[in-house]
Amino acid sequence: MNDPVDIIQSARDVFEETGYITIPDALTGQQVASLSSAIDELTARDPGKIHNVADIFGKHDAFLELLDLPTVLPVITELLGTNIWVNHSHLNANPATDSKDVSEFDNGYGWHRDGGAIHKDLPWPPPLLSIKIGFYLTDLMQEGSGQTYFIRDSHKTGERTPSAQELPDSAFPMMCKAGTAVLFDRRLIHSIRSANYSGSKRRVIFVQYAFRWMAAVDPMKVEHLRRKCSPVRQQLLGMTTRVRTIDGAQGRSGLYYPGPEDVPLAHPGNTRRESRLRSIARRLLQVFRR
Ligand SMILES: O=C(O)CCC(=O)C(=O)O
Report the pLDDT averaged over residues 99-116: 95
Report the pLDDT averaged over residues 88-104: 96
pLDDT at 1: 56
Query: Is the beta carbon of 92 within 6 A of some atom in ligand 1?
Result: yes
Residue 177: pLDDT band by 50, 70, 90 thresholds?
very high
For the chain, what percent of residues have pLDDT higher than 70? 95
pLDDT at 269: 65
Summarize pLDDT for 243-288 with one digit per residue, the tens. Answer: 999 999 999 999 999 999 999 999 866 545 666 677 777 777 777 7
CATH number, domain of 83, equals: 2.60.120.620
User: Looking at the predicted structure, is the pLDDT value of residue 180 above 70?
Assistant: yes
Mean pLDDT lowest among 110-124, 179-193, 241-255, 257-271: 257-271
Summarize pLDDT for 1-57 with one digit per residue, the tens. Answer: 567 777 778 889 999 999 999 999 999 999 999 999 999 999 999 999 999 999 999
Query: Is the beta carbon of 184 within 6 A of some atom in ligand 1?
Result: no
Residue 196: pLDDT band by 50, 70, 90 thresholds?
very high
User: Ligand 1 mean position to 133 CA, how many Å?
Assistant: 10
Its pTM stands at 0.93
pLDDT at 281: 77
Q: Is the dihedral of CA 41, 76, 141, 106 positive or negative?
A: positive
Report the pLDDT averaged over residues 166-190: 98
pLDDT at 231: 96
Residue nearest to atom 6 of ligand 1 (CA): 192
The domain tally of the chain equals 1
Question: Which residue among 102, 186, 194, 206 is best mutated to probe the pocket of ligand 1, counting the most ligand atoms within 8 A of its Cβ?
Answer: 206
pLDDT at 273: 61
User: Ligand 1 mean position to 190 CA, how many Å?
Assistant: 7
pLDDT at 213: 98
Report the pLDDT averaged over residues 229-254: 96
b/e for 247-272, b at 16 or more Cβ within 10 A?
eeeeeeebbebbeeebbbbbeeebbe
User: Ligand 1 mean position to 92 CA, how many Å?
Assistant: 8
Residue nearest to atom 7 of ligand 1 (CA): 192
User: Ligand 1 mean position to 192 CA, how many Å?
Assistant: 4
User: Ligand 1 mean position to 117 CA, how many Å?
Assistant: 17
Q: Atom of ligand 1 at shortest distance to CA of 92?
A: 1
Report the pLDDT averaged over residues 61-69: 98
Query: Is the beta carbon of 204 within 6 A of some atom in ligand 1?
Result: yes
Q: Atom of ligand 1 at shortest distance to CA of 206?
A: 7
Query: Is the beta carbon of 233 within 6 A of some atom in ligand 1?
Result: no
Residue span of the structural domain in which 223 resides: 4-289
pLDDT at 101: 93
pLDDT at 275: 67
Query: Is the beta carbon of 94 within 6 A of some atom in ligand 1?
Result: no
Summarize pLDDT for 125-176 with one digit per residue, the tens. Answer: 999 999 999 999 999 999 999 999 999 999 999 999 999 999 999 999 999 9
